[in-house]
Amino acid sequence: MKHDGVSASAVGQGVYHDERLDALLSITGRMDGYLYRCRNDASYTMLYISDGIFTVSGYRPSDFIHNAVRDYVSAIHPDDLAAVYAAVDTAIEARCNWNVDYRIVPQVGEPLWVREIGGGVWDEAGELEFLEGFVVDISDRKVVEDLNAELLLELKAANEELSAQKREIELAKQQSDHSANHDALTDLPNRRAFHNELRSVIDRCDSTGQAAGLLFIDLDRFKKVNDTLGHEAGDALLHEVAGQLRTILRSADFVARLGGDEFAFLFSGEASRARQKAVGVAERILEKLRIKVPTPNGAIHVGCTVGVAIYPAEASDSEALITLADRLMYIGKKSGRNRLVTAGALEPGPTSDDLRRTA
């Protein structure tokens, strides 16, 4: 849309009439709108505008013809002019129709919304000569559209709020589930989670023919650390122990804090290699948990004792497996600590080597 002061060619002042034009004028006269054609010049000189302009705006058509009283731009709300110019310019550049909503400032009353569909008319040389279009009053429709848009925004806001609430509920549930199944100090799975996992592993082994290995781990000299340095030092030690145990875990393994300074390590795998793997894991645990805790009177050498039990070779169910692993760990404690103990320690006449069996 030219608005740079450059004039285009003029057209004659007469309007060509035929039956088709009469029919068009009759039809548009029944609508809340109007037709127009103007020159593509600096002031958009209006060549024709239908009577509907009076119904819509209260201005007489003669006011606009040849811009006798006012030009059409003066009737457009000033806040909407930029959008109108942009829509028309874009359409003309693409040689297509524009479709733009804007407000008309009527002779009396509040601004009202109209929708204009128009296009350019080019001469044989390809020069833009005229702008023409049809403008219809959409005030009532605009109210509905604005109301719908407002309702959609409110609905969107409500959905976003509901989604946020849902996320909060899900997060709270996750946090609650996590708290219910994890130790608050080390964030390892707790005793409850351990028993659930053990039942699941046993069921899986029954289905697949695999074996499960259970290692009960009890720290050595943990009480001495607490008594010498206080519970904060004991808590720090448990944090370190948990971190060291995590370094041994594979994706399918499971480690839990059962309470106090007791931990459990659980795995499953091929039955033929279960004992070998269990001993290997216990060796690594013994190595990882050789921790030196400095004190004013010299370091405390913390270690651990591990009881190793295998399902189903050494225990018939989960409870029996727990009892065996705990008993073997207790035997290790009584036998000098800092060692792993397997079911061989329960055989008649255990030797010192049986009780101190390490990999």
User: Could you give the residue numbers annotated as active site?
Assistant: 261
For 181, other C-beta atoms within 10 Å of its C-beta total 16
CA distances from residue 343 to 90, 241, 273, 289 in whole angstroms, order as listed: 86, 25, 16, 22
Q: Are 219 and 259 in contact (CB under 8 A)?
A: no
Quickly tell me which residue has 């103007």 as its tokens. 38
How far apart, in whole angstroms, are the C-alpha atoms of residue 285 and residue 23? Answer: 97
**Inter-residue contact 43 to 67 (CB < 8 Å):** yes
Q: Are 215 and 265 in contact (CB under 8 A)?
A: yes
Token output for 184: 């608050």
Burial of 8 (0-12, 13-18, 19+ CB in 10 A): middle
Among 165, 114, 106, smallest CA distance to 135 is for 114
112-122, strands of its sheet edge to edge? 46-49, 33-39, 128-137, 112-122, 98-104
Q: Left (φ > 0), alpha (ψ -120 to 50) or beta: where does 63 sit? A: alpha
Q: How far apart are CA 53 and CA 65, in angstroms?
A: 12
